[in-house]
Amino acid sequence: MAELVYNEQGRLLFTEEMRKEYTILIPNMLPIHFIFLEKIFNNHGYRVKLLTTTGRRIVDEGLRYTHNDTCYPALLCIGQFIDALKSGEFDVNKTALMMIQSGGGCRASNYIHLIRKALKKCGMPQVPVISLNLANLEKNPGFHFTPSLLADLIVAICYADLLMLLSNQVRPYEINKGDSDRLVNKWIDKLEELNFSYSGFDRIAKRILADFDAIPYKPDPNVIKVGVVGEIFIKYSPLGNNELQKFLESEGCEVYCPGLIDFLIFMGDHHVVETELYHVKYKKYVASTAVKGFFKHMQNKIIKTVKGSRFFGPTPFEEAKKDVEPFISPANKMGEGWLLTAEMVDMIHMGINNIVCAQPFGCLPNHIIGKGMIRKLRETFPQSNIVPIDYDPGATRVNQENRIKLMLSTAKRQMQEQRMAAN
């Protein structure tokens, strides 16, 4: 068994010896993206296991080892980790945990400390916790980014965004149920074989588009388009939002959920804005400008791929940023910042007037930029049909889904009124 090594502050380190022996558990957030993450880390010499467990027991485990007022995504991640460690599937003396952190002012930067506190409380202090971040928050001798690892992760995000975009637009209309999901799985394996090629992105993206376009489908004018925005974990994670996308699709909806690329461009953009407005963080300015520029370049590739097809792509980042200026300042960066409001404005401009705004209860940044902006959006866009949904340990799935059903009933009524006016 690997020797436990601590740094000067008493933090348990993930060592090079542990890398050879330990299984690293990661919580699931974006299903397609994180499957790629698991595969890439394993291909680069790590032993990573993606946790896909769901259920009330995860919430209960989180409540048992954290304060009940803890940020709900943190509570869920901790509950999922502890549930996995208690399951008997993993040797707790040869298991590590990995948490992705943005390094911003949100409590997301404190998750890792909450995880360590929970491990001590449940009698597993020997389990190391790795922070996966590019903000230089923590370092471990057994975990580090290599240029090839980072390149694979970055390009895989772009492929995952494309797969998510296309599959969401096909699934509600497919004649043979399951075709789009089977095609996603096929391309997940194929892209791993292709080593997530950057040089071949344009060519491979066209092949992916052609495959989804070839799925037999039947147009349905009664399908309601619904956009999903919110705090990043609750927006994407089936565990965090009680499988919101599956529920919406079961109600006859086409779901549009913005890709992760937008958030990554936003992360680079707000460092650039800080330098321009406040004349701070000059060292980060160059790197952030490069990150922003690269992901804008990749977003434009996706837009170019779907242009001229029956599919629609994301709105260019700078265009979305300009459209949101009448509503909120670009200096607003906490949580999802102005991007969340911009996503709602963008959806309305795209004709997706029905929007679910999902946030953890008590998440102040998202209550301000999400729920807090709804009234202004309704005044500006009377056709908008936005419902805010809070997620926390005490919120029942039935109540959440009933509120969404009320929004959908309004959507159906508006659709009927539009058809009558057209006739």
Output the DSSP codes for 58-96: HHHHHHHHS-TTS-HHHHHHHHHHHHHHHSSSS-GGGEE
Output the DSSP codes for 382-402: TT-EEEEEEE-TT--HHHHHH
Mean pLDDT value of segment 198-203 = 96
Identity (one letter) of the amino acid at 279? H
Selected residue with higher pLDDT from 101 and 108: 101
- pLDDT of amino acid 185: 97
Cα 363 from Cα 366, distance rounded (Å): 6
Cα 196 from Cα 40, distance rounded (Å): 9
Selected residue with higher pLDDT from 107 and 350: 350
Cα 153 from Cα 369, distance rounded (Å): 29
Beta strand ranges found along 285-353 (DSSP E): none
**Mean pLDDT for all residues in the chain:** 93
- pLDDT of amino acid 335: 82
Cα 375 from Cα 54, distance rounded (Å): 34
Report whether pLDDT(259) > 90. yes
Structure tokens at 60: 């209960």
CA angle 166, 171, 172 (to 5 degrees): 125
pTM of the model: 0.95
Structure tokens at 56: 């009330």
- pLDDT of amino acid 302: 98
Cα 89 from Cα 11, distance rounded (Å): 26
**Long-range pairs for 111-117: beta carbons < 8 A, 24 or more residues apart:** 111/71, 111/73, 111/74, 111/77, 112/137, 112/138, 114/66, 114/70, 114/74, 114/78, 115/77, 115/78, 115/81, 116/11, 116/12, 117/65, 117/66
The alpha helices in 350-391, defined as continuous H runs, are 364-369, 374-380
- pLDDT of amino acid 363: 84
- Best-predicted range by mean pLDDT among 62-76, 239-253, 322-336? 239-253
* Centroid of chain to Cα 29: 6
Whole-angstrom distance between the N-terminal and C-terminal Cα of the chain? Answer: 75
Structure tokens at 359: 């946030």
pLDDT band at 270 (very low <50, low <70, confident <90, very high): confident
- pLDDT of amino acid 108: 66
Report whether pLDDT(82) > 70. yes
178: burial class by Cβ within 10 Å (0-12, 13-18, 19+)?
Answer: exposed
Cα 311 from Cα 163, distance rounded (Å): 12
175: burial class by Cβ within 10 Å (0-12, 13-18, 19+)?
Answer: exposed
Q: List the domain boundaries for the chain.
A: 16-143, 145-216+260-310, 223-258+314-423
> Hey, do 16-143 and 223-258+314-423 end up sharing a CATH topology, with the first three levels equal?
yes
Task: Name the CATH architecture for the domain at 16-143.
Answer: 3-Layer(aba) Sandwich (3.40)
Task: Name the CATH architecture for the domain at 223-258+314-423.
Answer: 3-Layer(aba) Sandwich (3.40)
Q: What is the pLDDT of residues 321-351, one digit of tens each?
A: 999 999 999 888 888 899 999 999 999 999 9
**b/e per residue, 44-73, with b = 16+ CB within 10 A?**
eebbbbbbeebeeebbebbbebbeeebbbb
